[in-house]
Structure 1
Amino acid sequence: MLYRFILLGFLAPLIYGCTQTSDLSSAPQQSVAQPVSIAYEKYQLKNGLTVILHEDHSDPLVHVDVTYHVGSAREEAGKTGFAHFFEHMMFQGSANVADEQHFKLITDAGGNLNGSTNRDRTNYYETVPANQLEKVLWLESDRMGFLLPAVTQAKFEIQRETVKNERAERIDNQPYARRHERIGEVLYPEGHPYSWLTIGYIEDLDRVNVDDLKAFFKRWYGPNNAVLSIGGDINVQQTKAWIEKYFAELPAGPAVNKQAPAPAKLEESTFITLEDNVHLPLVQIVFPTVYARHEDEAALDVLASILGTGKTSVFYEQLVKTGRVVQAGVSHPCSELACEFNLVALTSPESGLSLASIYQDIQTILNEFEQRPFDEDALERVKGNIKASTIYGLQSVSGKVSTLAYNETFFGQPDLMNEDVKRYSEVTKEDVYRVFNQYIKGKAAVVLSVVPTAQPELAVAAPTVARPERNIPDTNNVAELTTTEIKSAFDRSEVPQAGEPPVVTIPSFWQLKFRNGIQVLGVTNDETPTVTVTLDLDGGMLLDPIDKAGLSVLTAMMMNESTQHYSNEEMANALAKMGSSVSFASSGRYTQVNVSSLTEHFIPTLQLMQEKLFNPAFKEADFKRIKQQMIDNINAQAKEPSAIAERIKSKVLWGSDNRIGLPEGGTVETVSRITLADVKAFYQRYYVPAKGTVVVVGDMTPGQIPGYFDFLNRWEGEDYSLADYGDFPQYPGQQIMLVDVPGTTQSLVRMVKRALPYDATGEYFKAQLMNFPLGDDFNSRINLSLREDKGYTYGAFSAFNGGKTLGWFEASADLKQQFTGAGIAALLDEIRQYREQGITAEELSYMQNAFTLSEALEYETPLDKASFLRRLLAHDLPVNYKKAQKRILLSIDKAEIDGVAERTLTPEELQILVVGDKAAILPQLQSLGIPVVEINAATGLQVTN
């Protein structure tokens, strides 16, 4: 072992490896709740740019967010998708930043970045080491003031194809994903800015040109329509000076008026049907309500929680627990102009219940709601969750900055956290009943049925309206907006130099060992009054009998059900009132118990963890319901191209003779064989401390461990072993394995071969370094070639994936159907060329910077710290392994990287899995000169003709 441990009977833990003062008292202490707020400074430049600064020196990093108050709600009918289109264009360079350099400069600086668009706003954000702040401000100001000179027809065409690929991947090729578009079209009147999706319509993207896009930018992307928010390890005076330098000289854009709220209004209920490639029929009922921060929003949110959130809800009690539906829920999403009250249920064909029957069940629930008085716990649950989620939002600088930016953009007041807690705390029963009567009871709604293709008779009712025809106005008129030439007082083409790199140290942690062998690592972190605990039990799915694959998952799901002293509802109620969670899951080779709690509620939360861990009830009714839900989920995934690809990929890599060759949750056949007795036996044999590890991160000291975790210290159970793997499949040569899924709009390509297991400083680590410029970065060769240069896909990547004992290499892309063959050829060519030509000097330097400088971002949140500790335990790593990795990074050269590429990249050995429409793509595949075999989607076996 690489750690020194002591036995913890009733002894205090030994602290070493860091310098800290520890409270060695073993008695649990109840902490005092802390106020919730974010300190900030707000001011405005003369050009209208609003600036918010938040100082936080807890980690050597900064987060920058630029939010423009423009989303799809600012678009015109016939020109939809522009705001999202510009999210892509804003990363394509500006007057002083070359094409693709924004991504490269931030990654090279050790940071990460992205952007997002919704109905009402677009934001761009970067998290970087603290010494890189000036560079980020230079980049953001350049695209705010100098984007258009770099917008060319060629870039426009490439990003148009990328956006179309994104829509195909996320909307058109995903079961149920088109329902939001269909609902919006009938919920809102024609021309309403919420009547189309943010990503827009393909025909609109095809219709417009680069001048339309430029006009949209000129209209909405001025500093007077933006909020610049910066948080983290900043010097406020220096930051203000940089903001003045880079942003103050940018001219304001046209005046922007606030849009008036426009909630939908319906005269009568409307029924619509969507036929889709699904297994589980779905009904969704949508009532129009109010708008964000309307005085009734909080009460409607509470109503949604009571009706359909969690195991204490009415929907769970009457629909899910009874087995009438597979899933059900109620939500109340709110946007700037309107909110929608959503009720959703999925039913299983095996239940024999129709959507019409479930719809009537929902109507009965609504009709009887007022006769089902709810107690104070219902309000306490919502309030507890609101408080907890608010505090958890403070755990990262990015979370705090995003909150400040959101509130300022829409409500003109950055910190509304206490006000939000207050307005939910003041909701009464009378408020809930009042909004129910005002917005839900007897009110008109849009009722959508999603049914399997060619089975419209399964809908709740025949459609009462046809899909609205789009009346496209004349789109040839582009508004003339003048552009003011900006004369900078400095040379904007010069990239700002970074300051001195911050000193990064691994989290100061403590370690100990319970007397039953459980190893414990922890970090005392008092930045927020929270504690997270993870208990890992080694084995997971590897402990399943292969003919009962899914047993580990099913057992973990049963551990989330009733206990001997608590019903499902009682347990969920107790946790929700505190804003706590205790959940069991089986993923990969681990069964995990995850606990999160506010510090003030940690003791009672641990008591509930103890109850769930040691006193499961294993009721027959719970077992039947959970087992059926697993089978329904497996059947539903059989319709999802991405799930099919993952399932067949596992079989290609590991074969039929190994448990890992089957999905984590098993198959319909294997799950059907599992009995309740199997679950009980699995629990008795494998829910033991012998291979357990615990990670604790939060507002507590190691001296409190004996008192808090005595129940784990006294836990007993016999050790167990993991079976060896069986033979893995061997192939005569490279093959294309085609899985036919008729009607798919994309071809999912997964090129795989078995490869290295995880190591921290050996060949696997070096293979990851080698692969970075090939396929593990936005600016990688594979992604730039297939996405940016050719427009074949929304994204392409390659990766080495290593576990404790096994690993694999994968190159992947979801390709536009007509470019399936060309995309496969391009992927293979990029891998082949990289192996033959090796890494360039520029790529080597870029990789070294990206890996070494990014360490400043690695330990910020409790989750980051917990991940670091779990990695130490899982792979038995030395405490200083990060230093060893850095030495390798700084010393590795082209010859060594090229040697790794030659040994590990063998494109001719890759098995090529393709999930797509055989009728459309088979000729393309045959033209590649690689043998094509057809694989049955359900069995994973070769189809014989």
Structure 2
Amino acid sequence: MKFQLSIFSILFLTFSQLIQAQEKSDTYSVEFESFQLENGLKVIMHEDHSDPVVAVALTAHVGSAREKEGRTGFAHLFEHLLFLESENLGKGGLDKMSARIGGSGANGSTSRDRTNYYQTVPNDALEKMLWAEADKLGYFINTVTEPVLAKEKQVVKNEKRQGVDNRPYGHDMYVIDRNLYPEGHPYSWQVIGSLEDLQNASLEDVKEFYNKWYTPNNVILTISGDFDPEQARDWVHKYFDEIPRGPEVEKLEKQMVSLEKTKKLYHEDNFAKLPELTLTWPSVYTNHPDSYALQILASYLADGKNAPLYKKLVEEEKLSGRISMFDYESELAGQLMLQVRAYENVDLDQVQQAINEVFSEFAQNGIPQKDLERIKAGLETDFYNQISSVFGKGYQLAQYEIYTGDPNNLNKEVQNLLSVSQQDVMNVFRKYVQDKNYVATSFVPKGSPELALEDSEKAEVVEEKIVEGAEEDFDPSQQASYEKTPSSFDRSIEPPYHGKPETRVPDIWEQNLPSGMKVMGITNKEVPLVRFSLDIKGGQLLEKPDQAGISNLLAEMMTKGTANKTAAELEEAIEMLGASIYVNSEEEKITISGNTLAKNYEQTLELVKEILLQPRWDEEEFKLAKQQILSRLQEQKGDPLQIASNEFNKLIYGEDSILSYNLLGTTESVTNISLNDLKNFYEENLSPLAASFLVVGAIEKDTALKPVRGISANWPPKNIDFPEFSNPELPEQSKIYFYDVPGAKQSIISFGAPALSATDEDFYPAEVMNYRLGGGSFASQLTQELRENKGYTYGIRSRFTQRNYIGPFQISSGVRTNITYEATELIRNILRNYPQSFKPSDLEVTQSYMIKSNARRFETLGAKLNMLQEISDFGYDYDYIKQREKLVEDLSVMQIQELARQYVNPERMYFLIVGDAETQLDKLDQLGFGEPILLNPEE
């Protein structure tokens, strides 16, 4: 179908006004301007001149709820198609242009109710983005051919295998939604769809879908960031005005549901090693008046040490270490979900009995006012985090337009949350949970149906069979032949850049304290938040193999109370400030990090001081922490991705090195660690001489330093002996290693070899070299060949690991099981050819991306904190970004080729595959790397 030429030169609706919620109030708000074109396109603009970047997004009011039964997953499939090509961008579409302009990578997402397409770019590329987005909206459909559709079906089916079919508990939502919603309800099928429906989608389906839903009157365009609104308005008119209005889109009525009876179902999961119970009650649609109280109810019952469900199931009954509860709201209806992953061999009837006891107590006591205020404070901070980037602001404005018809409702969100009362929370509990029917799903390990809830029926789950040669062939090189859609000007000419945004490296202040601790910070007042990180060198590096996981266990214990506060009291004190404090152990450090409202920074740091200097060493909390870690280790045994990670590290570093161990440790080592071992590790290995405090946000240097000085003054310095590690060596020749996961629907691949440390002068040049190989997403050869040309995978990447010691070069992906050999052969060939195939045009694209993308490098508080961490961890200069720009400009093709020969040599590499050995192992010896080595033959 061709569009008729239609030119609009005037606005249909003059609606241009600057909105600011709650005038004359101190409440933070997002200012915006909105207008509508005559063809129905709604445009929302938000100015933010703090960084030279702009986010552009198209949001179509169509998701899986607008699909036809038998064509499920089609909205999501269409999201993929829209990136591939359009009439004037050509093959590769926006993905190809993104690499040249330094964009964040064109991306999209599909929900039940909407599909969005978005990217953040340097502000000189705004006109290019508007030109490209208009081309997708009005000049796309002619480029879709049968081969294009066939290939993209394979990509989406791989995405489903990766996210659903090849992971523990992946089918849970499918079972829940089929039983919660009546047949024919638009939420009764999954957004990702079924493999059968995806395969049956036809070219006629694509065109019908596009013409019905991808019209200006069903789409919102958001522009957020550093731009001139008058100029942007002119460009919007130029590129979007003549796209014709589509048929009127009928608004869907709300379709909340109720259950006539409780339904109990079970499934024996091929990958799950622990039983999991999920209870789901019908609830409300997005922005329903009850939605705010439901959020608070879910948080109170399940989140953290003070939650009644945690106290009952974790502390008292010791049935589980993982509980979550949330209200999953959509445009037409919603569902309140409680999920409990129990310990090994726990009968889920015990879990449900404990849940019922908690609910009975809540019905009597309700939510204490103190807890209500605590939860509200955290939700307010979460809100500010969501809008801390220009993309976040634009995204939220579009969401509120879609779901409420008024973007300004974004500015009422915090007030709606803060106005919830104790009685409101009790009311929604009685209305939606107490004595109400629900869907209960028991997902249990294969062979353990007795762990499911009593009287559960076997759930209907469609399992894909592994069949060699089952996928249809297609020719990805076939060009579409069509008559171009007419326009009033030549749309094939890409607009120019406007200006040249300079990378704005944030100003860094620093201070060395008497204890030896270094402090660095960046002041930024875009949102009233502060983020911080106290990084203490050590972590796994200081462990011994017989105590593997001790630093992780220490990190777990440091938030389990202080000398003055129980674990519950500490958590309450943090949350009352609207703050979060985390303690994590990594390979090279232990980190105490956090996020708080700027006004509560000093009080938050006082709690950090307690956590660091006055641990509680509670015996019961220690037992609980060990039990939870042991449960996670058991759970990981069924996860192909975690198996691949564990086995790859063993190949790289050798089984005798502590670096080959899981950060959690082993079942044996964790079991044997005592509380006294933990105290000794703490005393011996935490010192301000090995610590850096990093802080960014709405705070000045003097204010930031004050509480840090208090930490420093009370933390005695001691010298830490850091062990020397022998560098891992390249294998003499490549070998294939296979870990068998019977029935795996995908093969997880981890190919690589020891490479470089982050302090090596070749590290960043090697990262530049890797951009066109596998580090540049859709700009990379691996993605283009395995995803775009073959449809073998949903995603593939290669990277160099940033460490102070030698880290690996690694290629990782999940490929469909029945082409494991073909994918491995293709990757090997790409690696072999990469040095000689790298051309001047590749260098030009790489240089453009690496330099231009720096304009958006420091936009968020998280990005600024990450920069400080790189400077602290690896000794980089404060202006290392500028230095790297010069390095990239000076690199030659020959240098890139030599780096590729040295660091990505497929003849001296480990090829690890985690998949179904019965169907895939034997033919891998044809690769020429000898007979594959099966890593778990005894299993």
* TM-score tier (shorter): over 0.9
| Deviation string, structure 1 residues 373-423 (Cα, Å, up to 9, x no partner) | 432112102211221112223321111111111101111111223422222
Q: Which residue pairs with 2:889 in the alignment?
A: 890
Q: Which residue pairs with 1:199 in the alignment?
A: 192
Q: Which residue pairs with 1:5 in the alignment?
A: none
Conserved? CA contact 1:739–1:918, under 8 Å? yes
Q: Which residue pairs with 2:473 in the alignment?
A: none
1:900 matched to 2:908? The reply is: no
Q: Which residue pairs with 1:136 in the alignment?
A: 129
Conserved? CA contact 1:34–1:529, under 8 Å? no
Structure 1 residue 361 displacement after superposition: 1.1
SS of the equivalent of 2:907 reads: helix
Match of 1:95 among 87, 92, 111: 87
| Aligned mates of 1:809, 1:60 — CA distance in 2 | 33
Q: Which residue pairs with 2:466 in the alignment?
A: none
Conserved? CA contact 1:97–1:139, under 8 Å? yes
Residue identity in the other structure for 1:532: R
CA RMSD of aligned residues (A): 1.9
- Listed as ranges, the matches of 1:93-492 within 5 Å are 93-112=85-104, 113-276=106-269, 277-322=271-316, 323-349=318-344, 353-464=346-457, 467=460, 487-492=486-491
| Aligned mates of 1:314, 1:587 — CA distance in 2 | 31
1:588 matched to 2:587? The reply is: yes
| Aligned mates of 2:254, 2:625 — CA distance in 1 | 43
Q: Which residue pairs with 2:59 in the alignment?
A: 67
Conserved? CA contact 1:510–1:522, under 8 Å? yes
Q: Which residue pairs with 1:476 in the alignment?
A: none
SS of the equivalent of 2:921 reads: helix
Conserved? CA contact 1:657–1:726, under 8 Å? no
Residue identity in the other structure for 1:628: Q
Residue identity in the other structure for 1:817: T
Structure 1 residue 930 displacement after superposition: 2.3
Structure 1 residue 255 displacement after superposition: 0.9
Structure 1 residue 712 displacement after superposition: 2.2
Conserved? CA contact 1:531–1:602, under 8 Å? yes
| Deviation string, structure 1 residues 317-344 (Cα, Å, up to 9, x no partner) | 1112232212112211111111111111
Stretches of structure 1 that go unaligned for 5 or more consecutive residues are 1-31, 471-482, 938-942
Residue identity in the other structure for 1:103: D
Structure 1 residue 506 displacement after superposition: 0.9
| Aligned mates of 1:57, 1:83 — CA distance in 2 | 35
Q: Which residue pairs with 2:743 in the alignment?
A: 743
Conserved? CA contact 1:61–1:129, under 8 Å? yes
Closer, same or farther: CA 925–34 of 1 in aligned 2, 3 Å: farther
TM (norm. structure 1) is 0.92
Q: How many residues in Structure 1 have an aligned counterpart in Structure 2?
A: 893
Conserved? CA contact 1:73–1:120, under 8 Å? yes
| Aligned mates of 2:399, 2:206 — CA distance in 1 | 25
| Aligned mates of 1:242, 1:649 — CA distance in 2 | 50
Structure 1 residue 871 displacement after superposition: 0.9
Q: Which residue pairs with 1:15 in the alignment?
A: none
Structure 1 residue 639 displacement after superposition: 0.5
Conserved? CA contact 1:90–1:147, under 8 Å? yes
Conserved? CA contact 1:94–1:146, under 8 Å? yes
Structure 1 residue 683 displacement after superposition: 1.1
Structure 1 residue 705 displacement after superposition: 4.0
| Aligned mates of 2:922, 2:41 — CA distance in 1 | 55
Closer, same or farther: CA 794–657 of 1 in aligned 2, 3 Å: same
Q: Which residue pairs with 1:53 in the alignment?
A: 45
Closer, same or farther: CA 92–730 of 1 in aligned 2, 3 Å: closer
Residue identity in the other structure for 1:823: A
SS of the equivalent of 1:907 reads: coil
Structure 1 residue 838 displacement after superposition: 3.9
Residue identity in the other structure for 1:432: V
1:678 matched to 2:669? The reply is: no
Residue identity in the other structure for 1:738: F
Conserved? CA contact 1:37–1:415, under 8 Å? no
Conserved? CA contact 2:687–2:720, under 8 Å? no
Conserved? CA contact 2:795–2:814, under 8 Å? yes
| Deviation string, structure 1 residues 896-915 (Cα, Å, up to 9, x no partner) | 21122222221100111010
Conserved? CA contact 1:739–1:916, under 8 Å? yes
Closer, same or farther: CA 485–414 of 1 in aligned 2, 3 Å: farther
| Deviation string, structure 1 residues 3-43 (Cα, Å, up to 9, x no partner) | xxxxxxxxxxxxxxxxxxxxxxxxxxxxx994221000011
Conserved? CA contact 1:697–1:865, under 8 Å? yes
Residue identity in the other structure for 2:308: V
Structure 1 residue 731 displacement after superposition: 4.4
Q: Which residue pairs with 2:700 in the alignment?
A: 701
| Aligned mates of 2:653, 2:504 — CA distance in 1 | 39
Residue identity in the other structure for 2:315: K
Structure 1 residue 371 displacement after superposition: 1.9
| Aligned mates of 2:254, 2:374 — CA distance in 1 | 30
Structure 1 residue 640 displacement after superposition: 0.3
| Deviation string, structure 1 residues 187-239 (Cα, Å, up to 9, x no partner) | 11111111111010111011221111111111101010011010111101100
| Aligned mates of 1:253, 1:54 — CA distance in 2 | 27
Structure 1 residue 449 displacement after superposition: 0.1
Closer, same or farther: CA 47–555 of 1 in aligned 2, 3 Å: same
Q: Which residue pairs with 2:11 in the alignment?
A: none
| Aligned mates of 1:361, 1:773 — CA distance in 2 | 54
Structure 1 residue 686 displacement after superposition: 1.6
Residue identity in the other structure for 1:228: L
Structure 1 residue 485 displacement after superposition: 8.9
Closer, same or farther: CA 944–452 of 1 in aligned 2, 3 Å: closer
| Aligned mates of 2:840, 2:364 — CA distance in 1 | 73
Q: Which residue pairs with 1:4 in the alignment?
A: none
Residue identity in the other structure for 2:449: P
| Deviation string, structure 1 residues 90-118 (Cα, Å, up to 9, x no partner) | 11111112121311211210112210001
SS of the equivalent of 2:238 reads: helix
Conserved? CA contact 1:93–1:99, under 8 Å? yes
| Aligned mates of 2:484, 2:186 — CA distance in 1 | 32
Which shows bigger deviation, 461-470 or 116-125? 461-470
Q: Which residue pairs with 2:807 in the alignment?
A: 807
| Aligned mates of 2:44, 2:355 — CA distance in 1 | 46
| Deviation string, structure 1 residues 810-836 (Cα, Å, up to 9, x no partner) | 12221111110011000000010112x
Q: Which residue pairs with 1:577 in the alignment?
A: 576
| Aligned mates of 1:453, 1:726 — CA distance in 2 | 42
Q: Which residue pairs with 2:70 in the alignment?
A: 78
Conserved? CA contact 1:795–1:814, under 8 Å? yes
| Deviation string, structure 1 residues 134-167 (Cα, Å, up to 9, x no partner) | 0000000001001111111111011000001111
Conserved? CA contact 1:811–1:827, under 8 Å? no
Conserved? CA contact 1:249–1:486, under 8 Å? no
Q: Which residue pairs with 1:20 in the alignment?
A: none
| Deviation string, structure 1 residues 453-502 (Cα, Å, up to 9, x no partner) | 122221112334753999xxxxxxxxxxxx99953221000011111211
SS of the equivalent of 2:763 reads: helix
| Aligned mates of 2:895, 2:91 — CA distance in 1 | 30
Q: Which residue pairs with 2:717 in the alignment?
A: 717
| Aligned mates of 2:817, 2:461 — CA distance in 1 | 28
| Aligned mates of 1:732, 1:868 — CA distance in 2 | 37
| Aligned mates of 2:315, 2:935 — CA distance in 1 | 34
Q: Which residue pairs with 1:41 in the alignment?
A: 33
| Deviation string, structure 1 residues 726-779 (Cα, Å, up to 9, x no partner) | 57477453211111110111111111110111137x212111111111111212
| Aligned mates of 1:458, 1:932 — CA distance in 2 | 41
SS of the equivalent of 2:877 reads: coil
